[in-house]
Amino acid sequence: MTKERPSKPYTATQNACKMCTPLGAALAFHGIERSVPLLHGSQGCATYMRRYLISHFKEPVDIASSNFSEETAVFGGGANLKQAIENVARQYSPSMIGIATTCLSETIGDDVPMILAGMGASIKGTSLVHVSTPSYTGTHMDGFHQAVAAVVDRFNPADKRIGYKPKKKKTVNLFPGMISNADIRHLKEIFETFHTPCTVLPDYSERLEGPSWQEYQPIQEGGTPISVIEKMNVAVHSLEFGAVLALNADKGVDTAGGILKDRFDIPCTRMPIPMGVKATDRFFETLSEVTGKPVPERYQKEKWRLVDAYVDGNKYVSQKKAVIYGEEDFVVSLAGFLSEIGIIPVICATGGKSGLFRQALEQTLPETVWDQMQIHDNMDFTRIEERAAALPDPPDLIIGNSKGYAMARRLNVPLVRAGFPIHDRVGGSRILHIGYKGAQNLFDTIVNAILEKRQSDSSVGYSYM
C-alpha cells in the first residue's frame, strides 16, 4: 500500500464521511411492515435524519422523538420515552415501535431496557424493539445492522420454536444490508426465478418508493411483515451481505444471521455485496447450492452481455484512477468491481472505524493493485480531498454519494453518484448496483462519465467515440 501523507492538524471533523448511527436504525425499522421508528433524544436528531432520508428517497419519512429538553437532559428521559411510545401507539396503531437511542440519552445513562420492561414487551398490540445506537460508537451502517439483529432477536427468542414447518418449498433468509430500493427488488426477482421463497429483512423497497396517494397514509404500505419475521427460525439457510460484516461476525459481533445460527442451527453464509462479475458469480453459485436448483439461463445471458460490454469499453477504463468513498462494505465491493474492469481505486476511504476495512479490501482485491492504493478509515471529506489533491497524478473519477460533490467540483473531477445519500439528483433510490444488471448499469455510467469529461475538455469536441 502507498504511504499515507500527513494532513494539516485540526481538532474537528469537517463534513463527515458517515451519518449518525440511529439514522441507519431508523431506515432498518422502516423496512418492517407498519413499523414506526422512535428516537430517544432531542427533536433535532429526528429532524436531521428525516431530512437525509427524505432527500434520498423522495418519500415521506416519519421518525418519532421523545423530545428531550434541557430539564430532561438533567433529570432523565424515562417519562418522555413512555409518553412518546403511548402517543405513537395511539395515533399510528403500528405493529412495532423501533426505539433507537441517541448520544444524549446514552450519555446521561437512561436505562431504556428497564424503562421498557416496566411497560411490558408490547403496548396495545404494538411490539417494542430497542437498539442502543449512540453516534460516538459507530456509523449509520452500524446502527442499521444492530437494528436488524435486534428485530431478529426480539421475534425469534431462543426458547420458542413456532409450529410452522416449511413443506414443499424451502425458505431462505436474506439480510442484504443497506442497499437501494432497486437492489432489493432485483434480489426478490432473482429468488422468484429460482422458485424459492425468500424473507428479506429489512425490505423498504415499496414503503419508501410507493405509488402516489389519493389520501394521506399515516404508515406507508410495504415492509417485511412481523408474522414472516417470526418464521425466520425455520428457514433452511441465511445469507448476509458484507465483507466487513463477516469479519465482525468472526470476531464475535452479533449479526442477524449469527443469532439464527446460534439459536436454531440455521446455516449462515456471508459474502461481499454482489457487485461485478466475480462477486455475482459467487452469489449465484451459493444460491444454487442452497436451493439445489441450477442458475436460470437468463442470468448466464446477462453475464455474457456484461463481459462483452467490458471488452467493448476496456480501452476507455483501463488504468484509469478512481477515488471511492462511502460505507465500508459498499466501498469494498465497489473496489472489487472497479479492479475487474481495469480501474485502479487509488484511494479507498470510509468514515467507518471498524478496524477491518483494510483487511476486507486485501481479501477482495488482487495483489497487483495493492501498492497503487491508499486505504483510509475514520475519514472526513476534508482529509479525503487533501489526499486526492496530493496524488502524483490527478484521479480520473470520484465515485460515491452526493456528500463528495464539493470535493469533486474543486478538484475538477467527474463524480459518479452511487450509494447513500444521493440528494442532489433524482432516482438515487433507483440506482441498481448489484448483480450482472447492476454491474452493467455502473459500467455504462462510469464509461460515459469518462467520455463526457474528455469531450467537454476538448477544445474542438467530437461527435463519435
pLDDT of residue 217: 87
In CATH, the architecture of 21-137 is 3-Layer(aba) Sandwich (3.40)
pLDDT of residue 168: 52
pLDDT of residue 191: 97
Q: How many other CB atoms are found less than 10 A from the CB of residue 231? A: 18
pLDDT of residue 418: 97
What is the reported pTM?
A: 0.94
**Calpha distance 284→291 (Å, rounded):** 10
pLDDT of residue 169: 65
CA of residue 451 relative to chain centroid, distance:
29
Q: Where are the domains of the chain?
A: 21-137, 172-291, 314-457
Instruction: Kindly list the distances between the CA atom of residue 170 and the CA atoms of 241, 365, 381, in Å, as whole numbers in the listed order.
Output: 20, 34, 45
- Positions in the chain whose pLDDT score sits under 70: 1-11, 121-122, 160-169, 465
pLDDT of residue 10: 60
pLDDT of residue 216: 84
pLDDT of residue 151: 98
314-457 matches 172-291 in CATH topology: yes
pLDDT of residue 277: 98
Alpha helices in 269-404 (DSSP H): 277-291, 297-317, 328-341, 357-364, 381-389
pLDDT of residue 107: 87
CATH 1.20.120.80 fits 172-291, yes or no: no
pLDDT of residue 465: 64
The whole-chain average pLDDT of the chain stands at 92
Class of domain 314-457: alpha beta
Sheet containing 35-40: order of strands: 64-65, 35-40, 96-101, 126-131, 122-123
DSSP 236: S
Q: For residue range 161-185, what is the model confidence (pLDDT) as tens digits?
A: 655 455 456 899 999 999 999 999 9
